[in-house]
């Protein structure tokens, strides 16, 4: 169907078209407190509150679990443990290794043991304390070092190889190696994990679950209940934040709430408090990375060997794909010439680490960015020059270690434009002068790029469905498999449908994601939300629009291609009628006004055994400059200024996209600076509430923060309206701040010894690195 509406004047545009900076669809409800989250729903009659009792041991056999006193405690309706599960005791996404309730053994502190359903959460919690539990402890494997020593491996994978890395390293003019430890990160979504299950007839269940993946929730609930998938409906209107933390984790709580509901015939709610949430649920993987780089005198990489080691926790969860993505991003935006990228995935007696915005990509990217800073330090060059020298370029310097050709690199243009706008070069000179004149405080500046692969690397997940109804008054009901976690997906997809029908955005009703409307969906993850659901919704709308056009062509006696939808009207030859009137007429003519839509991402394929293929449909790009200052006496530090230029292709909604860019950057900044997960030797998480786990506050935002969407951005692939995904890539822009901190540490050592900074760069870590660099400088 011809789409004439792209070239029309502003006056005749619909309200809320694509490319408009439309506000979030729920903004007015957010500020008024009327947006309903699951815990806000009116409690159904006879609601049971479910408390989940957790393991206090990291690696142990349960020798005694007596729940008699729990069952007879006041207010308790039912107590459920492993033996009460009618189906399979497993809530895992893939591997079958995540028990809902521990069965004889426990593998992390915080693992669910049993659930108490009571009239109040206080009664349930108090009753749970009456359980008699005895353990026979075994030595826990807590850290990556523990796991390496114990050879506690979750999964072995082939390295990615390009050319001959070892030969290139051996023959290189210069060679440098180094390592960096990178801490994990808690999602700290403001709304904790929550599920509300309503019992239905025939033992069916309807679950409201705060989840990025309602379909998986449905599958897991059916599996645990021993039922068919069509016995279970999972529904979600909005989450209070997700960030990957609600991709696989919510299945556990949906399953437990459902078990209680089905066993008791009463509605049941699981709503975790913050401490339980942080102790019980998975986080971003912490990594230890090592690099060995061979390079020419001007810093051009000849060969790179990168080793990525990660703590996966007690089970597989999504660790395979996460570590794969870390490998896929160990090149970031750079051509490595000859490369070998290894990945070691360790099993530990800690919570199973899971998806978190970037999905391993950020950790992989840190490896090469640390390496390039080391190269620049060694040759005394401006690190920006070293980065520019090594960027992917066509032809000849465009092959990734996994065999995909980089066809769309815009990193150089972005970085050069940003360096000019932010006056990177002159500020860098002034900072050097500042560092010469100041003893206590040292500054650093760095510009780093991001190239992030877009598509689920598990190819089959790249599919989406939508369902669109047009009612007889011309209003539209929109549904698709994507979920809203604050990222503005719903409004973007609605804009796409409004554009397609050429009706005002206000005519589109956004509806809850629910598994009985659009089935077999993928998680809203991998930044794919608007790419794939937007396409599916457009397909559904186009089907209906096609029927309407044929009907109009027949009715007004013109060719179907002479029917044009424009600004709430339909032009058919010489005729012009309102969209609403055409819809009504079509209804009376018995034209179907409802359609599904379906999309699968083209061109992608991957052979994991060979580690070759084209896992990504396209790449999203961005670049950031950060300026920082550190206190060499205390390690205190601040990011003073950030400039960002980010490529979102042609934006679907610039306001929403800017929000993702800024929010992603600050979240990444937290990961690399203040957010520190501390486990003790026994494997207990000691930072399980905001009093001890510090995400950025308002004042951590740099005083100066200039963020721009790259005006020249355009997706070379046929993505939805030529846009690019924006959910995850901006998080990695914060690597510029870490790099700048590293350069500030280097300045403290008077440039004689290379900095060895780990993440998160807390005051303690910065002071350690400063002292280290000074000690080594005097040794030189």
Q: Which of residues 177-236 bind another protein (CB under 8 A)?
A: 187-192
Among 14, 60, 123, 368, binds another protein (CB under 8 A): 123
461 Cα distance to chain centroid: 15
Residue with tokens 């719903």, as numbered in its chain: 490
Question: DSSP states of 218-267 as a string?
Answer: HHHHHHHHT--GGGEEEEES--S--TTTTTSTHHHHHHHHHHHHHHHSS-
Among 1, 4, 6, 34, binds another protein (CB under 8 A): 34
Q: Are 631 and 744 in contact (CB under 8 A)?
A: no
Q: What is the DSSP letter of 391?
A: B
Q: Which is nearer to another protein, 487 or 715 (CB)?
A: 487
Among 521, 637, 719, 742, binds another protein (CB under 8 A): 637
Q: Is 143 in the site for another protein (CB under 8 A)?
A: no
Interacting residues with another protein between 446 and 505 (CB under 8 A): 485-488
Q: Is 69 in the site for another protein (CB under 8 A)?
A: no
Work out whether strand 268-271 and strand 48-54 pair parallel, antiparallel, or are unpaired.
parallel
Q: Is 29 in the site for another protein (CB under 8 A)?
A: yes
- Give the angle 670-271-360 at the CA atoms, nearest 5°: 35
Among 106, 259, 623, 707, binds another protein (CB under 8 A): 707
| Residues 6+ away with beta carbon under 8 Å from 458 | 321
Stretch that binds another protein, among 52-60, 318-326, 537-545, 658-666 (CB under 8 A): 658-666
H/E run at residue 510: strand 508-510
Q: Which is nearer to another protein, 125 or 566 (CB)?
A: 125
Q: Which is nearer to another protein, 338 or 632 (CB)?
A: 632
Among 59, 307, 667, 742, binds another protein (CB under 8 A): 667
Q: Which is nearer to another protein, 357 or 469 (CB)?
A: 357
Q: How far is CA 692 from CA 181, 598, 676, 677, 695, in A?
A: 21, 45, 9, 9, 10
Q: Is 697 in the site for another protein (CB under 8 A)?
A: yes
Q: Which is nearer to another protein, 751 or 763 (CB)?
A: 763
Q: Are 498 and 505 in contact (CB under 8 A)?
A: yes
CB of 733 to another protein, least distance (A): 11
CB of 152 to another protein, least distance (A): 25
Among 126, 322, 505, 753, binds another protein (CB under 8 A): 126
- Burial track 160-192 (b if 16+ CB lie within 10 A, e otherwise): bbbbebeebbeebeebbebebbbbbbbbbbebb
By CB under 8 A, how many residues form the interface with another protein? Answer: 106
CB of 153 to another protein, least distance (A): 29
Q: Is 664 in the site for another protein (CB under 8 A)?
A: yes
Q: Is 622 in the site for another protein (CB under 8 A)?
A: no
Record the tokens describing residue 233, joined without a space.
């409906």
Tell me if residue 663 falls in helix, strand or coil. Answer: helix
H/E run at residue 654: helix 654-672
Among 68, 104, 226, 690, binds another protein (CB under 8 A): 690
Q: How many C-beta neighbours within 10 Å does residue 159 have?
A: 16
Q: Which is nearer to another protein, 635 or 729 (CB)?
A: 635
Q: Is 681 in the site for another protein (CB under 8 A)?
A: no
Q: Is 125 in the site for another protein (CB under 8 A)?
A: yes
Among 4, 36, 150, 716, binds another protein (CB under 8 A): 36
Q: Are 690 and 188 in contact (CB under 8 A)?
A: yes
Among 700, 708, 714, 750, binds another protein (CB under 8 A): 700
Among 132, 149, 393, 633, binds another protein (CB under 8 A): 633
Interacting residues with another protein between 397 and 436 (CB under 8 A): 423, 426-427, 429-431, 434
Interacting residues with another protein between 253 and 292 (CB under 8 A): 273-275
Stretch that binds another protein, among 86-94, 118-126, 394-402, 538-546 (CB under 8 A): 118-126
Q: Are 642 and 740 in contact (CB under 8 A)?
A: no
Record the tokens describing residue 368, joined without a space.
């090469």
Q: Which is nearer to another protein, 399 or 767 (CB)?
A: 767
What is the distance between the alpha carbons of residues 18 and 648, in angstroms, rounded to a whole number?
Answer: 14
Among 252, 270, 523, 658, binds another protein (CB under 8 A): 658
Q: Is 362 in the site for another protein (CB under 8 A)?
A: no
CB of 415 to another protein, least distance (A): 18
Catalytic residue chosen out of the listed positions 235, 288, 728, 765 = 728
Among 407, 634, 711, 775, binds another protein (CB under 8 A): 634
Q: Which is nearer to another protein, 26 or 354 (CB)?
A: 26
Q: What angle in degrees, to the nearest 10, is found between the helix axes of 489-501 and 534-555?
A: 20
Question: DSSP states of 99-163 as a string?
Answer: -SS--SEE-STT-EEEEEEESSHHHHHHHHTT-EEEEEE-----SHHHHHHHT-EEEE-PPEEES
Tell me if residue 449 falls in helix, strand or coil. Answer: strand
List 744's β-bridge partners, or say none.
none
Q: Which phi and psi angles does 33 have, rounded to 5°? A: 75, 20
CB of 704 to another protein, least distance (A): 5
CA-closest candidate to residue 501, choices 600, 574, 573, 595:
595
Among 692, 711, 716, 778, binds another protein (CB under 8 A): 692
**Own/partner pairs, 703-706, CB within 8 angstroms, 24+ separation:** 703/640, 703/641, 704/640, 704/641, 704/642, 705/641, 705/642, 705/643, 705/644, 705/662, 706/421, 706/422, 706/642, 706/643, 706/644
What is the distance between the alpha carbons of residues 349 and 340, in angstroms, rounded to a whole number?
Answer: 29
CA-closest candidate to residue 735, choices 352, 371, 408, 447:
447
Q: Which is nearer to another protein, 464 or 766 (CB)?
A: 766
Q: Which is nearer to another protein, 172 or 419 (CB)?
A: 419
Concerning whether 433 is annotated as a catalytic residue, the answer is no
Stretch that binds another protein, among 341-349, 457-465, 584-592, 629-637 (CB under 8 A): 629-637
Q: Is 771 in the site for another protein (CB under 8 A)?
A: yes
CB of 393 to another protein, least distance (A): 30
CB of 678 to another protein, least distance (A): 4
Q: Is 441 in the site for another protein (CB under 8 A)?
A: yes
CB of 349 to another protein, least distance (A): 19
Interacting residues with another protein between 552 and 611 (CB under 8 A): none
Among 10, 42, 156, 609, binds another protein (CB under 8 A): 42
Q: Is 678 in the site for another protein (CB under 8 A)?
A: yes
Stretch that binds another protein, among 92-100, 104-112, 163-171, 656-664 (CB under 8 A): 656-664
Among 1, 4, 173, 689, binds another protein (CB under 8 A): 689
Residue with tokens 């780990």, as numbered in its chain: 758
Tell me if residue 173 falls in helix, strand or coil. Answer: coil
Among 609, 699, 712, 780, binds another protein (CB under 8 A): 699
Q: Is 74 in the site for another protein (CB under 8 A)?
A: yes
Record the tokens describing residue 442, joined without a space.
């040292």
Q: Is 239 in the site for another protein (CB under 8 A)?
A: yes
Q: Which is nearer to another protein, 34 or 561 (CB)?
A: 34
CB of 512 to another protein, least distance (A): 15
Q: Which is nearer to another protein, 261 or 441 (CB)?
A: 441
- Helix (H), strand (E) counts: the chain: 19, 30
Q: Which is nearer to another protein, 125 or 200 (CB)?
A: 125
CA-closest candidate to residue 379, choices 180, 172, 182:
172
Q: Which residues are catalytic?
A: 728
């Amino acid at each position: 169907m011809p789409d004439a509406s792209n070239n029309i004047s502003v006056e005749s545009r619909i309200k809320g078209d694509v490319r408009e900076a439309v506000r979030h669809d729920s903004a007015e409800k957010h500020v008024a407190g009327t947006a309903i989250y699951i815990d806000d729903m009116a409690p159904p009659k006879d609601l049971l509150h479910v408390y989940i009792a957790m393991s206090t041991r990291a690696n142990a056999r349960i020798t005694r679990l007596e729940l008699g006193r729990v069952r007879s405690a006041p207010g308790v309706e039912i107590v459920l443990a492993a033996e009460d599960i009618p189906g399979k005791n497993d809530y895992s996404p893939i591997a079958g290794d995540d028990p809902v309730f521990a069965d004889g053994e426990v593998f992390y502190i915080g693992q669910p043991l049993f659930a108490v359903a009571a009239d109040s959460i206080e009664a349930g919690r108090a009753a749970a304390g009456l359980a008699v539990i005895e353990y026979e402890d075994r030595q826990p494997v807590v850290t990556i070092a523990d796991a390496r020593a114990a050879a506690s491996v979750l999964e072995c994978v082939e390295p990615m190889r390009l050319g001959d890395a070892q030969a290139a390293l051996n023959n290189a003019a210069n060679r440098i190696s180094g390592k960096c430890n990178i801490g994990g990160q808690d999602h700290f979504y403001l709304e904790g994990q929550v599920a509300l299950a309503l019992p239905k007839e025939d033992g069916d269940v309807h679950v409201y679950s705060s989840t990025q993946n309602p379909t998986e929730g449905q599958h897991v609930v059916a599996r645990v209940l021993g039922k068919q998938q069509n016995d279970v409906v999972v529904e979600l209107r909005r989450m209070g934040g997700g960030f990957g933390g609600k991709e696989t984790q919510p299945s556990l709580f949906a399953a437990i709430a459902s078990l209680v509901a089905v066993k008791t015939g009463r509605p049941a709610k699981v709503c975790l408090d913050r401490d339980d949430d942080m102790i019980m649920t998975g986080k971003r993987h912490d990594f230890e990375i090592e690099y060995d780089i061979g390079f020419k005198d001007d810093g051009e990489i000849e060969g790179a060997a990168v080793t990525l080691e990660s703590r996966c926790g007690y089970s597989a969860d999504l660790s395979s794909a996460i570590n794969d993505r870390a490998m896929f991003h160990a090149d970031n935006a750079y051509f490595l010439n000859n490369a070998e990228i290894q990945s070691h995935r360790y099993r530990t007696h800690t919570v199973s680490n899971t998806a978190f915005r970037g999905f391993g990509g950020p950790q992989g990217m840190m490896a090469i960015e640390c390496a390039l800073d080391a190269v620049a330090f060694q040759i005394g060059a401006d690190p920006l020059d070293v980065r520019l020298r090594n960027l992917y370029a066509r032809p000849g310097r465009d092959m990734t270690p996994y065999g995909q050709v980089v066809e769309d690199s815009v990193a150089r243009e972005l970085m050069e434009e940003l360096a000019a706008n932010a006056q990177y070069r002159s500020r860098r000179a002034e900072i050097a002068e500042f560092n010469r004149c100041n003893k206590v405080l040292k500054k650093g500046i760095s510009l780093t790029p991001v190239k992030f692969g877009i598509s689920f690397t598990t190819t089959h997940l790249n599919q989406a469905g939508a369902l669109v109804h047009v009612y007889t008054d011309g209003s539209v009901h929109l549904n698709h498999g994507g979920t809203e976690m604050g990222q503005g997906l719903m409004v973007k997809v609605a804009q796409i449908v409004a554009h397609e029908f050429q009706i005002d955005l206000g005519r589109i009703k956004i509806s809850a994601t629910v598994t009985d409307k659009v089935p077999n969906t993928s998680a809203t993850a991998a930044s794919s939300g608007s790419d794939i659901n937007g396409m599916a919704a457009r397909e559904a709308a186009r089907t209906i629009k096609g029927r309407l056009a044929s009907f109009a062509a027949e009715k007004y006696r013109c060719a179907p291609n002479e029917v044009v939808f424009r600004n709430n009207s339909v032009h058919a030859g010489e005729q012009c009628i309102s969209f609403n009137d055409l819809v009504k007429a079509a209804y009376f003519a018995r034209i179907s006004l409802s359609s599904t839509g379906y999309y699968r991402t083209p061109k992608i394929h991957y052979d994991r055994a060979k580690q070759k293929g084209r896992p990504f449909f396209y790449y999203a790009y961005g670049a950031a400059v950060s300026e920082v200052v550190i206190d060499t006496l205390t390690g205190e530090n601040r990011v003073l200024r950030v400039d960002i230029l980010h490529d979102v292709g042609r934006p679907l909604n610039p306001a929403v996209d800017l929000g993702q860019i800024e929010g992603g950057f600050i979240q990444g900044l937290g990961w690399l600076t203040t957010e520190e997960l501390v486990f003790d030797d026994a494997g207990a998480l000691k930072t399980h509430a905001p009093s001890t786990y510090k995400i950025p506050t308002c004042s951590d935002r740099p005083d100066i923060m200039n963020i721009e969407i790259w005006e020249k951005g355009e997706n070379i692939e046929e993505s939805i309206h030529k846009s690019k995904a924006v959910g995850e890539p901006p998080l990695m822009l914060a690597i510029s701040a870490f790099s700048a901190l590293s350069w500030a540490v280097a300045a403290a050592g008077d440039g004689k010894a290379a900095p060895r900074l780990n993440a998160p760069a807390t005051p303690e870590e910065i002071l350690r690195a400063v002292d280290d660099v000074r000690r080594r400088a005097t040794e030189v």
